[in-house]
Amino acid sequence: MGLAFTIDTPVKVARYGISSVISIVDDALTEIMRKYYCEKTGEEYNPVSEKDEDFRATRIKKYLDLVNRMVTSQIETMKKQSFTAGSDLTKYFELLPGTSPAKKMYLRMLEVNDNSESLRLQNLLKKKVRPGAIDVNIMTKVDKTNYDKKGEELPAKYSDAVAALRGFAGSEVSSSVVFSAGMNPRLYAYLENLNRFYPDENGRINKSVILKVSDYRSALIQGKFLAKKGIWISEFRIESGLNCGGHAFATDGYLLGPILEEFLQNRVTLFNDLFGLYQKALVVKGYDSTEAPEQKITVQGGIGTADEDRFLLTHYELDGTGWGTPFLLCPEATSVDEATLQQLAGAKEKDLYLSGISPLGVPFNSLRGSEADLQRDSRIKKGKPGSPCVRKFLVSNTEFTDQPICTASSRYQRLKLKELAQQDLSKDEYERRYREVTEKLCLCEGLETSVIKQNGISLKSTNAATAVCPGPNLAYFSAVYSLTDLINHIYGRLDVIKGTVRPHLFIKELGLYIDYFRNELIKSLPLTNPKQARYFDKFKFNLMAGITYYREKLQDMADHSEATSSTLNKQLTIMEEELRVIWETSSGDVETKGQIIS
């Protein structure tokens, strides 16, 4: 969800029992928001300077502690309220799904005529009020090594991701850290030193680990790596490789349906394998390992209707689903400035695309024509491509410097374009390479600007141009929504996209993968490298296998509607033919050891 958009979401929705995730990659933003909320609530604000020892971890810890205090205070206030129309207490229970025992008790309380029984039920209901989790996200790849003023490398514990983890570990919140973007051995090794991730004397784990994964293999590898250190994975959060917001980590053609099927078939084996390793590690470390902790399997990425949500939960026996992108259109839940909010509400499929703007070199889901896009293009027209590099979280390139710099920075782009100008490139090739270099955006500032603008926070210097990273699913949500409306949509009590022509989430993802396959193949032709040819052959095979799998699941996907099943089948046939044509059209250029791959 980016940096700014959920930085204060727990303050907005946790009191309603809704869990959310704060990105803690940017300690400067957490410090800005701590100052803002201290002033708003009347708490004393004592700044943490970059000159302070371990300032990054301290800033993150202090902000999370403040958010935790605010949510705790909100809950205490709610429990003193009456069940009157419009109160937060009433809203808490109104938002619950109909299957919730607490919701059933609430409805019973509304129906009873006996005052004493009503009061008894009200007191019981107030005891059931629980805040949503204040979880945090660390993108494992954003782990820059830091240096002191003399240019000397600081110890590993001061790297960006490790310091962020330490800040979370030291905070008062009892929740989870979500690791995304793959395995980071340095970060995972440091995790082993933090005792709050181990069970206490009551067997309770105060700080939990959630792994965001794109397939079963990744879950198994990372899960085993951490289990051997005595770290339990409380949840594997499966995310679509392409039908998601932000950075898109495409699989080798493995589609969401088959991936979920693999988790379903191997869930018990996965748990047992990891628990065995976990037990052994805990014994060595002197912890009690008799009780098996909970482990959830959840999914997110492109879910858009209550029927899809219900299908995923029941068919794959999942413990939960995640909805992200639609909440960018809900000011009660996320922090999106007004101009960007209206642009998102009007966005269509053509406005949402997989871009190359990320300095990390990973495909990035973007909104065409965002404020940050326009600012970048303006700089290019003025002959000054690139951005000032202030935050430096995404520095990674050492082509021209000893210490890494960011590929979106004006410094890097100036040096790279100078190098291109000295090469003997054709006009078309130069222009292509020029676009690749200058396309990069400053995401550090671009993804933090929204909350600053929305709350009218005054800063000495700010990028002032919002970058935003919605998933493709946003195209089918075309209004600004209340929290109640979106929650009711999720639970099937309301349809906020009624009348919208929208493909099933599996069909949408398949289409995204076929487009991705086509574009990557075209960029790589002719395939004279055998390894490269095998990659695309495997990719195509996996997509075809996914299409076959979906045909077998048509009745379930269509909720046993013959008309819907027929429509899905036609769409699969069209996509299958499209994939075949892409491959056959390119097959003359796809060779390995003299033989055509087919």
Q: Name which of 353, 324, 357, 337 is nearest 4 in CA terms.
A: 337
Q: Is 489 helix (H, G, I), strand (E, B) or coil?
A: helix
For residues 227 and 398, give the distance between their C-alpha atoms in angstroms, rounded to a whole number. Answer: 34
Give the burial string for 191-224 (b: 16+ CB within 10 Å, else e): bbeeeebbbeeeeebebbbbbbbbbbebbbebbb
Q: Name which of 422, 373, 326, 457 is nearest 35 in CA terms.
A: 457
According to DSSP H, which parts of 200-287 are helical?
Answer: 216-227, 256-285
Instruction: Please tell me what DSSP assigns to residue 292.
Output: P
Which helix or strand (DSSP H or E) is residue 212 part of? strand 208-213
Beta strand extents in 33-165 (DSSP E only)? 134-139
Chain segment 15-48, per-residue pLDDT in tens: 999 999 999 999 999 999 999 999 999 999 999 9
Longest dimension (CA), the chain: 88
Query: In the chain, which stretches have pLDDT less than 50?
Result: 590-598
pTM for this one?
A: 0.95
Residues 6+ apart with CB under 8 A from 588: 596
3-state secondary structure 341-388: HHHHHCCCHHHEEEECCCCCCCCEEEECCCHHHHHHHHHHHCCCCCEC
- Taking each helix axis as running N to C, give the angle between helix 216-227 and helix 256-285, from 0 to 180 degrees, rounded to the nearest 10: 10
For residues 341 and 336, give the distance between their C-alpha atoms in angstroms, rounded to a whole number. Answer: 6
Q: Name which of 564, 558, 169, 135 is nearest 322 in CA terms.
A: 135
For residues 29 and 26, give the distance between their C-alpha atoms in angstroms, rounded to a whole number. Answer: 5
The residue type of 74 is: Q
* DSSP per position, 525-569: -SB--HHHHHHHHHHHHHHHHHHHHHHHTHHHHTTT-HHHHHHHH
Of the chain, the end-to-end C-alpha distance in Å amounts to 39
For residues 10 and 12, give the distance between their C-alpha atoms in angstroms, rounded to a whole number. Answer: 5
pLDDT for the residue 463: 65
Cα 5 to the center of its chain, rounded Å = 11
Q: Give the strand order in the sheet containing 233-239.
A: 20-23, 134-139, 176-180, 208-213, 233-239, 296-300, 320-322
For residues 212 and 237, give the distance between their C-alpha atoms in angstroms, rounded to a whole number. Answer: 5
pLDDT for the residue 592: 39
- Using CA atoms, how far residue 339 sits from 29, 133, 357, in Å, is 21, 30, 21
pLDDT for the residue 136: 98
* DSSP per position, 129-190: --PPPEEEEEETT-----B-TTSPBPPGGGSHHHHHHHHHHHSS---EEEEESS--HHHHHH
**Token pair of 591, please?**
């060779």
Q: Are 311 and 327 in contact (CB under 8 A)?
A: no
Q: Name which of 390, 399, 499, 492 is nearest 442 in CA terms.
A: 390
Instruction: Please tell me what DSSP assigns to residue 297.
Output: E
pLDDT for the residue 284: 95
Which helix or strand (DSSP H or E) is residue 437 part of? helix 427-438
pLDDT for the residue 587: 65
Neighbours of 155 (CB within 10 A): 9
Q: Which residue has the tokens 């996907």?
A: 557
Q: Are 213 and 224 in contact (CB under 8 A)?
A: no
Q: Are 3 and 448 in contact (CB under 8 A)?
A: yes
Q: Are 195 and 221 in contact (CB under 8 A)?
A: no
Chain segment 322-360, per-residue pLDDT in tens: 999 999 999 999 999 999 999 999 999 999 999 999 999
pLDDT for the residue 290: 75
For residues 96 and 74, give the distance between their C-alpha atoms in angstroms, rounded to a whole number. Answer: 18
Neighbours of 165 (CB within 10 A): 29
For residues 306 and 303, give the distance between their C-alpha atoms in angstroms, rounded to a whole number. Answer: 8
pLDDT for the residue 2: 63
